[in-house]
Structure 1
Amino acid sequence: MPMPSPTERHEILETNRTRKMARSAHAYVRGNTVKFYEWLEASPVAGRVPIGPAVWICGDCHLGNLGPIANGDGNVEIQIRDLDQAVIGNPAHDLIRLGLSLATAARGSDLPGVTTARMIEEMVEGYAAAMHDPTSGDAGVEPDVVRSIKRQALGRRWKHLARERLDAIDPQIPLGKKFWALDDNERSSLEAVFADPEVARLILSLDHKDKDRAVRMVDAAYWMKGCSSLGLLRFAAIIGLKNAKGRSDYALVDIKEAVAPIAPTTRGAKMPDDNGERVVTAARALSPHLGTRMTAAKMLGRSLFIRELSPQDLKLEVDQFSEGQAVMAARYLAFVVGKAHARQMDTASRNEWLGVLEADRRGMIDAPSWLWQSVVSLAGSHEAGYLEHCRRYALAA
């Protein structure tokens, strides 16, 4: 399939993104970070959201951005898996974003509003447990949805990754709806990227015992991802890893353009000026399993970040929550986010932030009133925005 023109690429991506966001209110929340911060700033609770310690935050902390991540030794943990929006900012923003995501997932599962209230309460308990002890704190009972996806992750190999991402096992990227042919400039630029010793070292770091193998690009294509920002570079590449005896293994690599984040940054915070370096630095702070498998690069005058995709890296997909599982998941996932924040704080900072969280828990529910009211306000704004999005999508269709 020939590479679409820039205009055609824009139209295809826009259509696909609009369609996916119309599927459910939960999908709309996941794909609309810009509106989240706009509506949060305009909400009646905005002035009451406390300012926590200035640490790296995810910036887009919804359910789909959490999941099992493998490190180079094959160990798997639930960590934050997408750091495009990561900044040094206010950890309260991650809590509110996660709370909203859990609330819309609960609504999509037809759970009563009282369950959402209990989820927010358990979120605070899980997050506080991580603040008390980020290394061995009690996350509570591992929910079935987490236990199931971790079990699935541990059983996956290259063939599973290839079937899922490429619809094939052979080391070739099938061109079609998801993958588009490269032009000569893009192909030669990618080959130059993988000739960089630092990039080669990264690729050899994940589950490859022989570090002296040669690295070469076998195939590559533009990767059309459904809710990606329009007009950004996104590529998939298959890398061949040859050892001295001529045997080959393969790695699937994701190359993604990094752009300026939408999430608010703490005034005066010192972050890398290069957006690719920002994403990699944030990943190493928030998600060590992922951060050790990433590097930044330049290509076609743009900033990129690169990571090898592991078969064990999965997205936490929640189609339906039971009431009990929803509450346990809220506690567990907030614990994961809390660990990512807490490992960047000293004991005094953690205790001070805990005090802020505990100070406002005597309201309508046993959770900070600013958190509960922010989630309620944003749920209303997102529901109205989602229905308007669906109306415009139906008219366009």
Structure 2
Amino acid sequence: IDRLLEINERVLRGILLRAPDAAYWMKGCSSLGSLRFAVLVGIGGSKKDPAQYALIDLKEAVDPVAPAAGSAVMPADNAERVVAGARALAPNLGERMVPVQLLGRPIVLRELMPQDLKLEIDQFSRSEATKAARYLAYVVGVAHARQMSAGERRTWRRELMARSASEIEAPSWLWNSVVDLTATHEAGYLEHCRRYALGVAS
């Protein structure tokens, strides 16, 4: 309960919290073999004031796949590591996440919001897709800027401002790295599904 109270400042101590429903959440192959629950939490409620509800996602944090930089200080607990990364990359998401322990496993507890839904590009018009891409680029850009010194940021800004928008083209190394990362992610995802299916079958 104390961890739930930390997620939303509107929830004050002394207000009744209850869980009308909860279920194991089988969402994609990445959750196979790991704990994943969706919990409906009722907040307060009386005859005069109906209860408010929040949907909470509890997901087991697994070992990292990507190596960390040698100089990086990373939490040993997987859930704490995931939350620290989210708060650094997207504070508006990370501040709604807390690391907890459930059944002896590291769990990330998060309040789900509409903006947390994965983007399905097919449902967007060209204009909407452009706006979404611009926003996501902004999030990544801010995250990278935090890792640069003031001098490095000025150099990057001069480089970008010296060229018009029509002339800016992603460098080949950036394009190749994104394509390789996407391909590696998809291959790893399918391999995880295959291993899980073989394990269940045996």
Q: TM-score, normalised by structure 2?
A: 0.70
1:270-316 alpha-carbon deviations (Å, 9 max, x no partner): 11110101111111111111111111101111100101112443322
* CA positional deviation for 1:328: 6.5
* CA positional deviation for 1:369: 3.0
Q: Which amino acid letter does the alignment assign opposite residue 4 of structure 2?
A: A
Residue of 201, 226, 236 corresponding to 2:38: 236
Percent of pairs with identical residues: 53
Distance in 1 between the 2:8 and 2:21 partners?
17
Distance in 2 between the 1:280 and 1:328 partners?
27
Distance in 2 between the 1:278 and 1:350 partners?
26
Matched residue SS, 2:175: helix
Q: Which stretches in structure 1 are left out of the alignment for 5+ residues? A: 1-194, 393-397
- CA separation of 1:249 and 1:372: change in aligned 2, threshold 3 A: closer
Q: Which amino acid letter does the alignment assign opposite residue 230 of structure 1?
A: L
CA contact (8 A) 2:26 2:32 kept: no
Residue of 150, 154, 157 corresponding to 1:347: 150
Distance in 1 between the 2:62 and 2:87 partners?
18
1:276 matched to 2:79: yes
Matched residue SS, 1:319: helix
Q: Which amino acid letter does the alignment assign opposite residue 60 of structure 2?
A: E
Equivalence for 2:198:
none
| Pairs aligned (count) | 180
Matched residue SS, 1:280: helix
1:266 matched to 2:69: yes
Moved more, 234-243 or 270-279: 234-243
* CA positional deviation for 1:320: 6.5
1:368 matched to 2:171: yes
CA contact (8 A) 1:204 1:211 kept: no
1:226 matched to 2:61: no
Q: CA RMSD in A?
A: 3.6
Distance in 2 between the 1:329 and 1:313 partners?
13
Moved more, 306-315 or 294-303: 306-315
Equivalence for 2:197:
none
Equivalence for 1:202:
6
Q: Summarize the alignment of residues 83-102 of structure 1 with structure 2, pairs less than 5 Å apart.
A: none
Matched residue SS, 1:250: strand
Q: Which amino acid letter does the alignment assign opposite residue 276 of structure 1?
A: A
Distance in 1 between the 2:99 and 2:183 partners?
36
Distance in 2 between the 1:341 and 1:259 partners?
24
Matched residue SS, 2:116: coil
CA contact (8 A) 1:285 1:344 kept: no
Matched residue SS, 2:72: coil
Distance in 2 between the 1:350 and 1:332 partners?
19
- RCO comparison, higher one (Cα < 8 Å, 6+): 1
* CA positional deviation for 1:200: 2.8
* CA positional deviation for 1:251: 1.6
Distance in 1 between the 2:54 and 2:20 partners?
10
Q: Which amino acid letter does the alignment assign opposite residue 171 of structure 2?
A: P
Q: Which amino acid letter does the alignment assign opposite residue 221 of structure 1?
A: A
Distance in 2 between the 1:380 and 1:272 partners?
26
Q: Which stretches in structure 2 are left out of the alignment for 5+ residues? A: 195-202
Q: Summarize the alignment of residues 1-397 of structure 1 with structure 2, pairs less than 5 Å apart.
A: 195=1, 197=2, 199-205=3-9, 208=10, 212-242=14-44, 247-319=50-122, 330-351=133-154, 354=156, 366-375=169-178, 378=180
Q: Which amino acid letter does the alignment assign opposite residue 238 of structure 1?
A: L
* CA positional deviation for 1:375: 5.0
- CA separation of 1:322 and 1:346: change in aligned 2, threshold 3 A: same
Equivalence for 1:33:
none
Q: TM-score, normalised by structure 1?
A: 0.39
Matched residue SS, 2:98: strand
- CA separation of 1:295 and 1:330: change in aligned 2, threshold 3 A: closer
CA contact (8 A) 2:84 2:94 kept: yes
Distance in 2 between the 1:296 and 1:374 partners?
31
